Amino acid sequence: MEWIFDIFEENYLKLLNSKKEVEGRVPDPSKERKQYNKIVRGDKIVIRVVDEKFQPVNTIKPLEFIASYNKKYDSVKEMLESEGLERVLPEANSIEEGIKLYHNLPGYEERIKINGIHAIGLENKI
């Protein structure tokens, strides 16, 4: 199966040029394309850049990966401690900063309490 993850340009550059190996995603059961709990090993992950209105930026080539695993965690803290801060958020200086980054995303803190957060391993950049 193929999944599309939307990110902003600053995060795209981090993915392109960093050691980021894990993408943290919070499922939204009301949206088929955000039911991240259904991702399995071998699924294709296409990461595309969107603008502030969440419209695709077609001038930036999407990155493509293969999902190596999908693990569910009950909290951002648990995910970052288990997966490693550097592998999930290489730009964060602490677990606390990483938690704030996720909780600042609209609706994430509430959805994490209900649905958890998934750590999706990214490997084999295509």
pLDDT at 22: 93
Number of domains in the chain: 1
Q: Is the distance from CB of 118 to CB of 67 less than 8 angstroms?
A: no
| CATH number (domain holding residue 55) | 2.30.130.30
Band of residue 126 on the pLDDT scale cut at 50, 70, 90: low
d(CA 119, CA 81): 12
pLDDT at 118: 98
pLDDT at 120: 97
- pLDDT, tens digit, for every residue of 65-120? 999 999 999 999 999 999 999 999 988 999 999 999 999 988 899 999 999 999 99
pLDDT at 16: 79
pTM over 0.85, yes/no: yes
pLDDT at 14: 75
pLDDT at 18: 65
- pLDDT, tens digit, for every residue of 2-54? 999 998 887 787 777 767 899 999 998 888 888 999 999 999 999 999 998 88
d(CA 123, CA 126): 9
Q: Which residues contact 70 (CB under 8 A, 6 or more apart)?
A: 36, 37, 39, 40, 41, 118, 119, 120, 121
Closest CA to 26 of 84, 78, 86, 73: 73
pLDDT at 95: 97
d(CA 11, CA 14): 5
Structural domain for 113, as ranges: 2-123
pLDDT at 8: 86
- In angstroms, the Cα distances linking 10 to 15, 17, 21, 48 are 9, 11, 16, 12
